[in-house]
């Protein structure tokens, strides 16, 4: 009998091959559940894969190839049991934006570059996973993602209007130029193309309302195609998708050159970040329902590997799909085998019925994609942001309009930079407030003297700092202390510090100078309630000794017991405020 592997070796093996963990839970019952969920997923991804490939400017089969390879690799090497990866609308529009800036849409070079940028994006994601940068997605705020996806939705919808109205638009036209071109030709709109798209859209929406479990998009596309066929649309000039090649994903060779990498790197980085945000946020959302714990770093690895491997099998960049992942969970999927079964069903469809798109009109796809674009806009949360937070609303608007007016990859960076700038601006202005004991018997319960209308000692000022004391906040803290102490010649200052989480060298130096200033005036600076971790940081940078360990106290009463006897007794006996129980002359 073989000896079991040591625990450390098992953990390493499970990190390298995470599917070895969940594969042991597979039973006949879970296999059946995954098979049914996989069939459901294949029916959903068939129209979506074609639609997303068209959004990316690629032949329709590339969307199906991405729906085959990407979810298998991501499922095997990710951490989520229910996340389904593959082509997505937001990633597709960014791929189009980045690649069309280098090559003509639809050309062989365009396809090759789409695969190269997929390889680059996957390598970035994989490197982030190995470096354990799973928390990186937290720096891309939800507001930035909302603004970007809303802008991407408008761009996606705009890209389909030419098919819905059957009007020519130059390839690679910007958002503004596309609408200028369309509006100039508005008198030439094809009513048949528009009606075909409308039938598709309305049928899809109606079927979804009747029964959300129906493959409403597939049925909507069938109804639009029948409508167009009955009116002899093909012979009246309505363009068709045409037959799929009916082949399995072929081996491809992404173009590898340093010059090309440097050209595509900014776009690849944006795709990598957006893909990770989508995948991890969707995985976490579903894990709340399933009770599973998600490993962000492992998801990075899974997404990275899926794009790296996919780029060599004619797949373009993919990520987690909320629609397909949600449907996968609701269909009863138990393990990532559901994603593998879905991919297998797509393979069968591709091999057995490649002609499924032969008579599929472009206006039908346009109508379906228009609905996909609409579903990308999170109206509920966008409205909530506009009603609750002006700063977040500004970030959302800047990201949204940047998405429409500049290159998409830089729109993401603009939103992230603005959100970080506003965050730093906010953290650079921590709240400083005068506090006093709520009850005379004890100084342990301090409250804002202004808000609670509490008396303050004319010789001792107690100030609470809510926020970190770092280089960006030093100037603000100094000015606030000056303002709060102005008018009363206070030389004894107590900083109440339980809400301080971090002090850097610049902050510690500022506190040191403030202490020296008060000492020259005959007073002192004391610290109360500071966390031990913050004191450890001060000691590590050599400032605990400079500030004086005797200046630090655990409780307000500790510092007051030592400080009150040092005050001017004459002023104390003339004072009628009696703020502290330690005040002279107060009956105990």
Q: Pull the structure tokens for residue 139.
A: 């720096």
pLDDT of amino acid 588: 41
pLDDT beyond 60 at 3: no
Q: Pull the structure tokens for residue 547.
A: 């500030």
Rounded-to-integer distance, Cα 26 and Cα 179, Å: 53
Give per-residue burial for 289-314: e unless 16+ CB within 10 Å, then b.
Answer: eeeeebbbbbbbbbbbbbbbbbbbbb
pLDDT digits (tens, 9 = 90+) for 109-129: 999 999 999 999 999 999 999
What are the start-end ranges of the H helices in 291-336?
A: 296-311, 322-330
pLDDT of amino acid 250: 81
What are the start-end ranges of the H helices in 134-215?
A: 142-165, 175-184, 191-210
C-beta separation of 241 from 362 below 8 A: yes
Rounded-to-integer distance, Cα 270 and Cα 503, Å: 33
Provide the pLDDT confidence category of residue 254 given band limits of 50, 70 and 90: confident
pLDDT of amino acid 488: 63
pLDDT of amino acid 196: 95
pLDDT of amino acid 587: 44
Reported in sequence order, the residue ranges of 7-165 that DSSP labels E, i.e. its strands, are 85-86
pLDDT beyond 60 at 508: yes
pLDDT of amino acid 301: 95
Calculate the CA dihedral of residues 253, 254, 259, 265 and round it to 10 degrees: -160
C-beta separation of 525 from 515 below 8 A: yes
pLDDT beyond 60 at 166: yes
Q: What residue ranges do the domains of the chain occupy?
A: 32-421, 429-574
Rounded-to-integer distance, Cα 436 and Cα 433, Å: 10
Over residues 526-542, mean pLDDT:
94
CA angle 535, 537, 540 (to 5 degrees): 115
Whose tokens are 């100084």? That residue is 443
pLDDT digits (tens, 9 = 90+) for 222-253: 999 999 999 998 888 898 888 888 888 888 88
**Fold type of domain 429-574:** Transcription Regulator spoIIAA (3.30.750)
Provide the pLDDT confidence category of residue 443 given band limits of 50, 70 and 90: low
- In this predicted structure, which of 28-32, 355-359, 372-376, 550-554 has the lowest mean pLDDT? 355-359
Rounded-to-integer distance, Cα 93 and Cα 498, Å: 48
Instruction: State phi, psi for 496 to the nearest 5 degrees.
Output: -90, 115
pLDDT beyond 70 at 481: yes
pLDDT beyond 90 at 357: no
pTM (2 d.p.): 0.78
pLDDT of amino acid 15: 79
pLDDT beyond 90 at 259: no
pLDDT of amino acid 4: 63
Better-scored residue on pLDDT, 230 or 142: 230
What are the start-end ranges of the H helices in 185-251?
A: 191-210, 216-230
pLDDT beyond 90 at 359: no
Beta-strand relationship, 460-466 and 431-439 = antiparallel
pLDDT of amino acid 164: 94
Cβ burial of 2 (10 Å; 0-12, 13-18, 19+) is exposed
User: Which residues face 495 on adjacent strands?
Assistant: 463, 527
Whose tokens are 């002192």? That residue is 524
Nearest to 84 by CA among 252, 345, 245, 320: 320
The rounded radius of gyration (Å) of the Cα atoms in the chain is 31
pLDDT of amino acid 1: 46
Rounded-to-integer distance, Cα 558 and Cα 570, Å: 23
| Rounded alpha-carbon distances, angstroms, from residue 172 to 177, 183, 273, 405, 457 | 10, 17, 24, 14, 70
Over residues 123-142, mean pLDDT:
86
C-beta separation of 239 from 362 below 8 A: yes
Average pLDDT, the chain: 89
| Exposure on the CB side of residue 148, measured as CA atoms within 13 A | 29
User: Which residues face 436 on adjacent strands?
Assistant: 447
Phi-psi region of 86 (alpha: psi -120 to 50; beta: other; left: phi over 0): left
C-beta separation of 54 from 156 below 8 A: no
Rounded-to-integer distance, Cα 87 and Cα 158, Å: 19
C-beta separation of 218 from 384 below 8 A: no
């Amino acid at each position: 009998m073989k000896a079991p592997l040591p625990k450390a070796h098992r953990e390493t093996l499970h990190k390298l091959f995470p599917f070895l963990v969940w594969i042991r839970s597979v039973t006949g019952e879970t296999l059946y559940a995954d098979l049914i969920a996989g069939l459901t997923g294949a029916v959903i991804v068939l129209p979506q894969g074609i639609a997303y490939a068209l959004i990316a400017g690629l032949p329709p089969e590339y969307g199906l190839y991405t729906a085959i390879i990407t979810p298998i690799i991501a499922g095997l090497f990710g951490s989520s049991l229910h996340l389904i990866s593959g082509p997505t609308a937001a990633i597709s529009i960014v791929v189009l934006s980045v690649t069309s800036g280098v090559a003509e849409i639809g050309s062989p070079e365009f396809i090759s570059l789409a695969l190269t940028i997929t390889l680059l994006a996957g390598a970035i994601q994989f490197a982030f996973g190995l470096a354990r940068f799973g928390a990186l997605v937290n720096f891309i705020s939800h507001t930035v993602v909302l603004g970007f996806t809303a802008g991407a939705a408008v761009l996606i919808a705009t890209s389909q209007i030419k098919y819905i109205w059957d009007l020519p638009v130059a390839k690679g036209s910007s958002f503004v130029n596309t609408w200028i071109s369309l509006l100039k030709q508005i008198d030439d709109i094809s009513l048949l193309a528009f009606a075909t798209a409308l039938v598709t859209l309305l049928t899809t929406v109606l079927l979804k309302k009747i029964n959300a479990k129906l493959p409403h998009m597939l049925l909507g596309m069938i109804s639009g195609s029948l409508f167009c066929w009955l009116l002899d649309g093909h012979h009246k000039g309505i363009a068709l998708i045409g037959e799929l090649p009916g082949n399995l994903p072929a081996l491809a060779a992404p173009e590898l050159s340093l010059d090309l990498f440097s050209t595509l790197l900014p776009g690849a980085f944006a795709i990598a970040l957006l893909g990770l945000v989508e995948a991890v946020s969707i995985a976490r959302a579903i894990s709340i329902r399933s009770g599973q714990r998600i490993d962000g770093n492992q998801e990075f690895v899974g997404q990275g590997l899926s794009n790296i491997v996919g780029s060599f099998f004619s797949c373009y960049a993919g990520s987690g799909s909320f629609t397909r992942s949600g449907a996968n969970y609701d269909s009863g999927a138990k393990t990532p085998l559901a994603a593998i079964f879905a991919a297998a069903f797509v393979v069968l469809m591709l091999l057995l019925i490649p002609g499924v798109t032969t008579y599929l009109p472009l206006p039908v796809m346009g109508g379906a994609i228009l609905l996909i674009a609409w579903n990308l806009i999170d109206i509920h949360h966008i409205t909530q942001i506009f009603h609750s937070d002006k700063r977040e609303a500004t970030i959302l608007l800047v990201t949204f309009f940047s998405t429409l007016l500049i290159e998409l990859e830089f729109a993401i960076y603009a939103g992230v930079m603005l959100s970080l700038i506003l965050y730093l601006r906010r953290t650079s202005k921590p709240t400083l407030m005068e506090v006093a004991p709520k009850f005379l018997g004890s100084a342990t319960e301090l409250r804002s003297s202004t808000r609670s209308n509490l008396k303050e000692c004319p010789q001792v000022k107690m100030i609470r700092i809510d926020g970190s004391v770092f280089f960006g906040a030093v100037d603000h803290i100094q000015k606030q202390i000056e303002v709060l102490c102005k008018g009363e010649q206070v030389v004894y200052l107590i900083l109440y510090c339980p809400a301080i989480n971090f002090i850097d060298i610049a902050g510690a130096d500022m506190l040191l100078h403030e202490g020296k200033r008060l000492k020259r005036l005959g007073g002192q600076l004391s610290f109360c309630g500071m966390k031990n971790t913050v004191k450890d940081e001060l000691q590590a940078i050599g400032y605990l000794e400079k500030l004086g360990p005797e200046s630090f106290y655990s409780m307000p009463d500790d510092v007051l017991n030592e400080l009150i006897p040092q005050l001017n007794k004459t002023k104390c006996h003339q004072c009628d405020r009696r703020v502290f129980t330690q005040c002279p002359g107060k009956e105990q």
